[in-house]
């Protein structure tokens, strides 16, 4: 299958690797030249423009930082919306504002274009290892793009309509973020007490306190090495505020996430957004 992919950053390249390995031809584009070069080295057929991607396939995946980036792509300077072929399906993997994808989906539907959210739970490393989960704002019976999604996720969950995949992803990301925060706080306390962090991490992993974050983020916290990033702190900062917005809309109480936002915002003001999100430990260890 020919698959378009716009956005070739950390996650975009990981998605491309999975698609290429599954035998799909990937026509990709990114505004960043280095990202295009790295993607080309992994087997992506890099295109000159987003319009070239649109002309070559009727299935396009987006891997962008925010829903504002999607809107700029579609109706801004690149004007992708006017280059799309009739009956094109766009699968947006971006974690963004759910109400934005609802509105954008309705807008594109008037031109015979389908847009839905296929949010991917997991980092770029998780994606490369084939362990990501897809949270899809669509009915399963309408998902005629299943082969492509199956190539990039080990399990797929369908939530009836655009926007719902994003909403579930925010709930999932709340847990991811707080798992990292709790681990960072525990290791910060252990360090202040003078314990060896490697030993404490091993204890936490061995007992009932275990979580996967101890495998993926614990070693980074222990060593203090947060580059290269697998998933950036700045990206999760954006997600935390989306979670807060969603909770406020529902009138839901999320006091721990409110505290998390204050901690992560302080790190962002220090200019640490490009580090791996394990750098939340810097709030407890300088």
Arithmetic mean of pLDDT, 188-200 = 97
pLDDT of 285 reads 85
Q: Is domain 167-283 annotated with CATH 1.10.1040.10?
A: yes
Q: Is the peptide bond before 101 cis (omega within 30 degrees of 0)?
A: no
Express each pLDDT in 115-125 by its tens digit.
Answer: 999 999 988 99
Reported pTM: 0.92
Domain 2-162 CATH assignment equals 3.40.50.720: yes
Q: Where in the chain is the domain with CATH 1.10.1040.10?
A: 167-283
Rg (CA), the chain: 19
For residues 151-172, give the mean pLDDT: 97
pLDDT at 49: 96
CB 54 within 8 A of CB 85: yes
58/55 Cα distance (integer angstroms): 8
Q: What is the mean pLDDT of residues 210-225?
A: 97
pLDDT digits (tens, 9 = 90+) for 26-59: 999 999 999 999 999 999 999 999 999 999 999 9
In the chain, where does the domain assigned CATH 3.40.50.720 lie? 2-162
Find all residues with CB under 8 Å of 251, minimum gap 6, and list them.
none
Instruction: For residue range 61-113, list pLDDT tens digits in order.
Output: 999 999 999 999 999 999 999 999 999 999 999 999 999 999 999 999 999 99
Q: Which residue has the tokens 């994808």?
A: 101
Query: Cα separation of 76 and 141, whole Å?
Result: 33
Non-local (6+) Cβ contacts of 212 within 8 A are: 179
Please, what is the Cα angle at 243 between 241 and 246, to 5 degrees? 110
The pLDDT-based confidence of 286 (bands split at 50, 70, 90) is low
Instruction: Give per-residue pLDDT as tens, 124-139.
Output: 999 999 999 999 999 9
State percent of the chain over pLDDT 90: 96
């Amino acid at each position: 299958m020919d698959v378009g992919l716009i956005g070739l950053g950390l996650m975009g390249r990981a998605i491309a690797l999975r698609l290429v390995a599954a035998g799909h031809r990937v026509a990709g584009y990114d505004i960043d030249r280095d990202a295009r070069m790295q993607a080309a080295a992994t087997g992506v057929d890099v295109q000159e423009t987003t319009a070239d991607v649109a002309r070559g396939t009727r299935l396009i995946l987006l891997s962008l930082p925010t829903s504002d980036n999607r809107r700029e792509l579609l109706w801004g300077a690149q004007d992708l919306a006017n280059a799309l072929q009739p009956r094109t399906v766009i699968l947006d993997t971006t974690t963004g504002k759910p109400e934005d994808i609802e509105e954008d989906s309705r807008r594109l539907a008037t031109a015979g274009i389908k847009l839905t959210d296929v949010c991917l739970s997991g980092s770029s490393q998780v994606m490369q290892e084939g362990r990501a989960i897809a949270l899809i704002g669509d009915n399963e019976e309408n998902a005629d793009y299943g082969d492509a999604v199956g190539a990039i996720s080990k399990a797929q969950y369908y939530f009836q309509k655009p926007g719902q995949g994003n909403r579930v992803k925010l709930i999932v990301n709340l847990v991811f973020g707080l798992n990292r925060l709790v681990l960072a706080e525990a290791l910060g306390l252990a360090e202040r007490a003078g314990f060896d962090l490697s030993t404490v991490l091993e204890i936490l992993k061995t007992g009932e306190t275990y979580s996967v974050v101890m495998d993926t983020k614990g070693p980074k916290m222990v060593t203090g090495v947060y580059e290269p990033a697998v998933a950036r702190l700045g990206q999760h900062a954006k997600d935390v505020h989306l979670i807060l917005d969603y909770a406020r809309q529902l009138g839901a109480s999320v006091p721990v996430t409110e505290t998390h936002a204050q901690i992560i915002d302080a790190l962002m003001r220090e200019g640490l957004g490009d580090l791996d999100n394990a750098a939340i430990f810097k709030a407890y260890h300088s």
